[in-house]
């Protein structure tokens, strides 16, 4: 059996493009052309999983990644892995368990998805960027010296950032009525939002390197090709609806309250912890998350391509 590259969350935001991009890259590799791809998913019967299963060299396996052990990795001869973890409060416990299993299984290289670079620090007021900081600190420790890794720090995903604009346009087209247009960003701060598909493409380029040593222990900042302000989002909406938006609420993070009530309140999660997510966008409002912060290696290896206008158009087609 040939060595394999594991893609955790293969049908997710970033995992899908990793899975779709890697076969083409491996085909032209000097040393990895015979490697298998294991696309991990929670449902092998989903339409996306079935689509990925048709790609050359891809084997779709139904398994919850948090149950992966070093024995399982050995059994499937995994030598490289991609992981985009959830950002629930127990992320550190579950993702660090995966990395310990990878270390014990002798995996050579892991590419992981982090979060907005300006937030990945121990004093971030939002809880989940502190978790990413802690994971990167763990991987940077001497005990993990035999495991090569790269952490990708993408800006906020375009599909999330523009979701309220898309829903506003759809509702107006259907009813001819306007509610308040709620925008996560500030009116004037430029933010380099990025399409999650572009993030996965870059990850695939890293995983396909014959020798990833040059990227070991690197933390790369990823933004989209262009910046966008809150006012520019309003302008795009007005172009799509053909009239002026009557009421706009900038820096609107009220959705976090609904997120807590819908997904966390019944599970006994700390309200204080979940609501701290509201602080995650503060660095964007402060102008610290523009496209100019993108790492040069990203631009050289697989520069992001999809603009906010491209993503909004796609959202409107769904």
pLDDT (tens digit, 9 = 90+) per residue, 99-147?
999 999 999 999 999 999 999 999 999 999 999 999 999 999 999 999 9
Buried b (16+ CB within 10 A) or exposed e, 103-126: bebebebbbbbbbbbbbbeeebeb
The pLDDT value recorded for residue 1 is: 73
Give tens-digit pLDDT for 247-278: 999 999 999 999 899 888 888 899 999 999 99
For 47, phi and psi rounded to 5 degrees? -55, -40
- Whether the pLDDT of residue 211 is over 80: the answer is yes
| Token code pair at residue 174 | 């259907």
pLDDT in tens, 47-83: 999 999 999 999 999 999 999 999 999 999 999 999 9
**What does the pLDDT read at residue 30?**
87
Domains of the chain: 4-154+195-223+290-305 (3.40.50.720), 159-189+226-285 (no CATH)
How close are the terminal C-alpha atoms of the chain, in Å? 40
The reported pTM is 0.96
The residues, ordered by sequence, that sit 6+ positions from 175 with a Cβ below 8 Å of its Cβ are: none
Structure confidence by residue, pLDDT tens digits, 180-196: 999 999 999 999 999 99
């Amino acid at each position: 059996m040939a060595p394999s590259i594991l893609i955790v969350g293969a049908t997710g935001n970033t995992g899908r493009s990793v899975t779709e991009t890697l076969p083409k890259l491996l085909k032209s590799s000097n040393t990895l052309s015979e490697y298998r791809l294991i696309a991990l998913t929670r449902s092998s019967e989903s339409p996306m999983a079935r689509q990925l299963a048709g790609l050359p060299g891809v084997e779709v396996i139904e398994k919850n990644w948090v149950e992966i052990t070093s024995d399982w990795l050995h059994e499937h001869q995994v030598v490289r892995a991609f992981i985009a973890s959830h950002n629930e409060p127990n992320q550190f416990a579950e993702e660090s368990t995966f990395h310990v299993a990878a270390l014990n299984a002798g995996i050579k290289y892991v590419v992981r998805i982090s979060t907005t670079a300006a937030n990945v620090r121990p004093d971030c007021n939002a809880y989940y960027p502190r978790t990413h900081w802690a994971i990167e600190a763990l991987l940077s420790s001497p005990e993990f010296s035999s495991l090569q890794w790269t952490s990708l720090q993408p800006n906020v995903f375009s599909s999330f950032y523009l979701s309220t604009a898309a829903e506003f346009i759809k509702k107006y087209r259907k009813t001819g009525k306007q509610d308040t247009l709620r925008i996560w960003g500030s009116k004037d701060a430029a933010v380099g939002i990025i399409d999650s598909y572009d993030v996965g493409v870059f990850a695939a380029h890293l995983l396909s390197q014959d020798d990833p040593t040059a990227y070991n222990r690197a933390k790369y900042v990823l933004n989209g090709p262009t910046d966008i302000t809150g006012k520019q989002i309003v302008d795009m909406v007005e172009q799509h609806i053909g009239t002026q938006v009557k009421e706009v609420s900038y820096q609107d993070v009220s959705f976090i309250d609904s997120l807590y009530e819908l997904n966390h309140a019944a599970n006994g999660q700390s309200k204080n912890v979940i609501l701290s997510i509201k602080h995650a966008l503060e660095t964007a409002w402060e102008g610290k998350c523009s496209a100019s912060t993108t790492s040069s290696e990203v631009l050289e290896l697989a520069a992001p391509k999809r603009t906010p206008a491209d993503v909004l158009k796609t959202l409107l087609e769904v």
